[in-house]
Structure 1
Amino acid sequence: MEQPKNNFQTYKYPGKGAVEFAKELVDGMSREEAASIIKKINEGAYIDRSDRRVKRCSHCGYFYRDKTKPNNSRTCCKECKIDLDTFNRKKKKADQELLNPTKKAELRYVWWLEYPYWVNEKEMLKWSWKYEAPYPTDAIAIMTAKKQEKEDLGGSRKKSTENY
């Protein structure tokens, strides 16, 4: 008997490919006969070992017939593939979180408390300038000159003198 490849003890619904495969084997049987045969199919009985296209789905764990031309699918249907990829992506992210448990941003600035604070003055000076960049004195003079010029012209649009 071949055991499912996934390590989950919870029940998973079979994918479309697994359902189609089981339908092929129990076509025309009564419900009671079909139920006992499907149970044996999931245990590995009634499966031709010489048929290379019969595989066990990597996600749901049920047997299915691979219909791809190169015979290289790992899942029975598109839904199982999406769920497996999502699971693998979440697993990879969790592993990365375990390897890097604290991020540097959390060490620099404690933002989640009622009164947030910087861990030390060096970090504050190192990072706060990006968010609170001071203007040089000549830049302030240029901005005030542009503002004055805009007001002299009458705002953002020139006023037409033809209406007077």
Structure 2
Amino acid sequence: MTVEARPPDTTARAEGAAADPAPSGPLLSVRDLTMTFPGRRSASGRRGAPVRAVDGVSFDLAAGETLGLVGESGCGKSTTGRMLVRLLEPTSGSVTFDGRDITRLSQRGLRPHRRHLQMVFQDPHSSLNPRQTVARIICDPLLVQGWSATDARRRAAELMDLVGLIPEQIDRYPHEFSGGQ
């Protein structure tokens, strides 16, 4: 998971006015994040014991820092990621992004934050549309956020280069890349 830097302040300032001070503290702060799922029902209809998939996860990330969640299968990595972007509601705990506890925001209030905090799912074959080029897959979210087509394509090429892909391959389809790419 990568936390994007805060967008620049584009508000007009009076001539000679001082710029806002640099933000202090983490951009993303997670405290005691917990997710408990109800137990499965048995053949008799009784519900088993609840399953605590994530138990008290806490960490801080500054702008531009990257966090890797490592662990065995089923230990709660994906569940944690889904809670961070509010695809799952945590049982308890808080996720503070840019000074706001996003676990308390409505879906509408969450929209501006989703531009800067996103999740990349593990399985590229089910995550990437095989009928869309890599350019479209990368550019569409940028276009939705108001980027021009030219700027979105330029940024997509930069992102490909950043992860070790050849930007000239931007018009290829997902199946034209190896699994590791």
The answer to whether the superposition gives a TM-score over 0.5 is: no
More helix by share: 1
Shorter-normalised TM-score: what interval? under 0.3
More strand by share: 2
